[in-house]
Chains A and B, each alone.
Chain A
């Protein structure tokens, strides 16, 4: 069964510093996708970045990058130059490609607080 582990319940980071949010996963499916979402206090889940299991390069989207280490089954999110607006819950999620399954399995999340 697929599983996502986020071991950091909460993190405090100084504004303008870079921050790494950890995510490890477990799956027996060779084809899968890894996703990061941001959830502000309003509740909406905001898609940040996606990495496919066969992608050779690490994904990047603006200040977000995904440090994908396939052999270690880790997909850490890196936020460069953090801003106050980055304070939110961050969820790592995975979807297996087999059987056209749209189900996302989420980790427990990391609450990130940016300190001015």
Chain B
């Protein structure tokens, strides 16, 4: 079974620009979560999508948004990029069945550099 895929793997953007990152979950997984990893703040939860709806959101400004498509693929968008948005963005997928806790499987990440 194929794992979680993320594109692109590396990205360099300029301050003020916007960026879209893509994530394809493991086949059959309907939940996609996004995380930001930086040396200073560590791993922080951005948001989770399930059945095309945002279910949970972390403490990030509105510049960070996302969506999920009917095939469970998800995109994350960051508008008006700031230097502090430079990070590794990780996507994770899970089964997400009610009443059970399932592990999340992560993709290889997208490393975003803002200059």
Chain A residues at the B interface, C-beta cutoff of 8 Å: 31-33, 35, 37, 42-47, 50, 52, 91, 93, 95, 97, 100-106, 108-109
Q: Across the interface, do A104 and B33 meet the contact criterion of CB distance under 8 Å? A: yes
By DSSP majority rule, is chain B's interface helix, strand, loop, or mixed? strand
Known contacts A46-B106, A103-B48, then 11 further A-B pairs from the complex at CB < 8 Å, ordered by chain A residue? A33-B101, A43-B88, A43-B109, A45-B90, A47-B103, A47-B105, A47-B106, A93-B43, A100-B96, A100-B98, A103-B33
Residues of B27-69 contacting chain A, CB below 8 A: 31, 33, 35, 42-43, 45, 48, 50, 55-56, 58
Number of B interface residues in the complex (CB < 8 A): 26
Q: Least Cβ distance of B66 to chain A in Å?
A: 13
Residue in A33, A37, A102 whose beta carbon sits within 8 Å of that of B106 in the complex: A37
Residue in B50, B94, B98, B107 whose beta carbon sits within 8 Å of that of A44 in the complex: B107
In the docked arrangement, what's the CA distance between A95 and B45, Å? 11
Q: Across the interface, do A44 and B109 meet the contact criterion of CB distance under 8 Å? A: yes
Q: Does B92 contact A (CB under 8 A)?
A: yes
In the docked arrangement, what's the CA distance between A46 and B104, Å? 9
Which 7 pairs, one residue from A and one from B, show the smallest C-beta to C-beta distance?
A45-B106, A33-B101, A106-B43, A102-B48, A44-B108, A103-B45, A43-B109
